[in-house]
Amino acid sequence: MASSLTRDAQPQETPGGGKTFFGHPRGLATLFMTEMWERFSWYGMRGILVLYLTAAVTDGGIGMAESTAVALYGIYNALVYMLAMPGGWIADRLWGARRAVLVGGVVIAAGHYILAIPAEWTFYVGLLVIALGTGLLKPNISTMVGGLYRGSDGARRDAGFTIFYMAINLGALVAPLVVGTLGEKVNWHLGFGVAGVGMTLAVVQYALGGRHLGDVGRVPPTPASPEERGRMLRKAGLWLGVAAAAIAVDVALGTFTLEHVVNVMPVLGIAIPVVYFAVMFRSPGLGDEDRSKVRAFMWFFVTSVLFWMIYDQSGSLLNIFAADKTERTVGGWEFPASWLQSVNPVYIVVLAPLFASLWVALARRGREPGTVTKFALAMLLIGGSFGLMGLAGAAAASSDTGKVTVFWLLGVYLVQTLGELCLSPVGLSLSTKLAPARFASQIMGLWFMATATGNALNGWATKLNEPMGDAAYYTLWGVLAVLGGGAFMVGSRKVRALMGDVK
């Protein structure tokens, strides 16, 4: 499959003694397998998170209200991706991407094993530990993929990232089937523990395959001086102290609620990228050409925020819709709602190689759509998926059973997957191409920050579902996404000019 994507182009740089992985650098196999197992652990836990939160205490859950559980899900997703920013800085300035990924993997595994302990306090501690580890691993493993393709053309790099993206979805495909079944049918904490086993395998695979990565990610590209390290530690300590003091005062007054966190996270989701972009623009080492590319990246960032805000509701509101309003009985047996979280990865595994082949084939003929066009198409598709979801909500409301056939969700996930393939692997590749060398991992962190901001805004957005009802709620966001795609197309000429030589 991969050889058909790139049979006319051999890598100019193949760390690890010239070995290749279906015509790609051999190190891609190491990163592919590591990412696959890491995503198994992440999507396994993600597939049962909201279901566990809303399950009755007598059924082993926490018994949380649906609206609160959905808000917590969005907050957690936002926190995970927000932490990609300091994770990128640590790799760029302190450790290098190689070490950051290794440490992140070990921390994630520890977090899952903490989740496996059957106590409510360990659940929240485990979530925090996983978030910290993912912040170290997620942006930096993608940066290392980009490092394998130094000197390669854009189409080849995009094909490499699409193959890498399949690793994400192979792990995501299997995880809900295994973790979801154990969690829903046997024991929630057993499901969380199995996800930890997957992460442990990721760490082992990464350590054994490191020899194929050559020098990629071995050293930080712009090491921080001792003065810079001290200054950053003081700033981090100050802000952590302020946050801890605010929470302590809230708790002492007896007024602390999850709602306070829900309201703060969207503010952080907007403020953090604004601050990061401002810091980059003020950097004396950033030339005019790099500044222009960072400005172009800002357009893609804003568009991605809306995309991921809509898309990531599949693990919260759509997951609950699958559990409560979707007919899941086959032959007298009701399959777990979390299994539907595997539908999108199945589509990705089937369609990703077709998309990769399509982009390369069109590039050979000089007819490949530009990145701006791909992003605009992604917005139209994600909007269309929620338009379809609005119809599903209306159908459920008018049904005698209050449920609809599973084919509604299968259709919604198909349209979302088509949009995802136009945006996510292309955006990963674009981030590495637009990023100035001194900000490589931090730009990748900003790419993931778009997901964080989208999920943080979900803390507010999803509250509208209950008062509006499914039909009106999903249709509203579908229309806004389509309008966003249209606005992106209107500004496409300016964006292309800012991108310079990046195609």
* pLDDT at residue 155 in the model: 67
Q: Model pTM?
A: 0.80
C-alpha–C-alpha distance, residues 475 and 78, integer Å: 24
With bands split at pLDDT 50, 70 and 90, how would you rate the model's confidence at 470? Answer: very high
- The pLDDT tens digits for 325-382 are 999 988 888 899 999 999 988 998 888 778 878 877 888 888 878 888 899 999 999 9
Which residues, 6+ apart, have CB-to-CB distance to 111 below 8 Å?
Answer: 126, 127, 128, 129, 130, 131, 132, 133, 196
Residue 26: C-alpha distances to residues 20, 92, 210, 360, 363 (Å) = 4, 24, 10, 20, 24
pLDDT at 3 over 60: no
Of 195, 201, 82, nearest in space to 135 by CA = 82
With bands split at pLDDT 50, 70 and 90, how would you rate the model's confidence at 441? Answer: low
C-alpha–C-alpha distance, residues 18 and 90, integer Å: 30
- The pLDDT tens digits for 118-144 are 887 888 889 899 989 988 988 788 888
Residue 425 CB-density burial (10 A; 0-12 exposed, 13-18 middle, 19+ buried) = buried
Kindly report which listed range (82-86, 173-177, 297-301) carries the lowest average pLDDT score. Answer: 82-86
- The pLDDT tens digits for 152-168 are 666 677 677 777 877 78
Task: Please answer whether residues 444 and 431 qualify as being in contact, where contact means their C-beta atoms are separated by less than 8 angstroms.
Answer: yes
Task: Please answer whether residues 144 and 98 qualify as being in contact, where contact means their C-beta atoms are separated by less than 8 angstroms.
Answer: yes
C-alpha–C-alpha distance, residues 376 and 300, integer Å: 10
- Which SS3 state, helix, strand or coil, does residue 76 take? helix
* pLDDT at residue 20 in the model: 62
- Which helix (DSSP H) or strand (DSSP E) does residue 315 occupy? none
- The pLDDT tens digits for 256-283 are 777 777 788 888 888 888 888 888 888 8
